[in-house]
Structure 1
């Protein structure tokens, strides 16, 4: 039985990279045209959402979303979520309709084919370089001026220890949100670690539960408030992870509210 599982995991992981590449190859000419200028990004984003949904479907993942808030299509947000899996990127694209750009580590640009578009459409950061971190603010300003939102995984990476429920948050997302006075929207991914973690011999098809939380307002906040915003946001996601783990997913009705901190 263990041997069968190992064979399944090997084939399934290889299949993941095939289904990552296939839609990119099919849409390649249109993707190239959409990244010629910043103005074409909304078209690229639509194709990226098709790519993401195709991967989730082909891998046997289906997602269930609970919302406290519907993002306004004409408004910019700082979107943050917990980070445990490569599928976090696909799931984020699948559940958020508002065009946004990822702020992510530059190492992902080395992935063949995917990396080509990643480095041309995302804001890359070298976390060991202060100049790179400062450049993020300038690049984010340019995207926000076009009406886009920004998405950051504030843990700054995936912990090697998979027993960690939620790692500490870095300040970057909250500094950006304060500087541009945009609301922070926390999103909790409940099952991505179980479905497709970075441990090679693990995972399975199945449900991916998502909770889109009410926005945390930054209007009137200053850089001195970043730690409070950071910990408030982390608490929202952490508590929801505990809720997903210990309570029935159908026990909570949807609500819509704004949180003022």
Structure 2
């Protein structure tokens, strides 16, 4: 990522390739197509902190495809070990070593560099996202502390179908439409670090409510399917 950020619009080109070539053709090749519903009008000139529920291996590709903003992921360092993807990830993301307080602190500096280039930031905030019995796992505070520190509006995105159509245990998934809801952002102007938990809870509730109110009940049904396959 550092090299691409040195050149004007360099990362935008990388992101465009990721969005229109890698994410789009990979998902289409897997039998998925995407419909994004914007429940708000996002400012194309505004940087955001994008957060979303994380219930599938395809969430990263879906986030890239669905977003109209160029953003940089903040994610755990361990992902660089994934073949092929790890090489791309290392060059296009802010990596965090969760065991190192220094690494976590460095994220704030790296995030500012990203924002100075005009890019948004994206984090999947769930703690234990691989729990198939939870509709939405509890959140870590990192995304919200970063958003407050840099006065970034929090924009929740909700992946309604990934948990059912391509769960972590993919033996009972299936291809089809992937719906994404983009919810109204929450302003962070004037907030302080001690407000992070309130901001976290508001965002959690917004995503959780959207999953519960889904007319197709896709994520709710995904839990039922998982239990049928694994608990009987």
| TM-score > 0.5, shorter chain as reference | yes
2:32 — aligned with what? 61
Counterpart check, 1:143 vs 2:143:
no
Mapping 1:64-83, distance limit 5 Å: 64-83=35-54
Deviations 1:174-193 (A, max 9, x none): 00110111100001101101
Instruction: Say what the alpha-carbon RMSD is for the aligned residues.
Output: 1.9
Aligned mates of 1:142, 1:177 — CA distance in 2: 14
1:219 — aligned with what? 189
Secondary structure of the residue aligned to 2:79 is: helix
Higher-Rg member (1/2): 1
Counterpart check, 1:121 vs 2:81:
no
Counterpart check, 1:194 vs 2:168:
no
1:37 — aligned with what? 6
2:65 — aligned with what? 94
Q: What residue ranges of structure 1 are gaps of 5+ in the alignment? A: 1-31, 249-261
Change in CA separation of 1:44 and 1:156 when aligned onto 2, cut-off 3 Å: farther
Q: What residue ranges of structure 2 are gaps of 5+ in the alignment? A: 219-232
Change in CA separation of 1:111 and 1:67 when aligned onto 2, cut-off 3 Å: same
Change in CA separation of 1:246 and 1:53 when aligned onto 2, cut-off 3 Å: closer
Aligned mates of 1:55, 1:196 — CA distance in 2: 13
Aligned mates of 1:205, 1:36 — CA distance in 2: 36
Contact in 1 for aligned 2:128/2:138 (Cα 8 Å): no
Counterpart check, 1:205 vs 2:158:
no
| TM-score, structure 1 as length reference | 0.78
For residue 208 of structure 2, the aligned residue among 196, 215, 238 is 238
Count of matched residue positions in the alignment of Structure 1 and Structure 2: 215
Contact in 1 for aligned 2:54/2:129 (Cα 8 Å): yes
Secondary structure of the residue aligned to 1:35 is: helix
Deviations 1:173-222 (A, max 9, x none): 10011011110000110110111111142311011111100010101111
Aligned mates of 1:107, 1:247 — CA distance in 2: 33
Runs of 4+ aligned residues of structure 1 deviating over 6 Å after TM superposition are none
Contact in 2 for aligned 1:61/1:208 (Cα 8 Å): yes
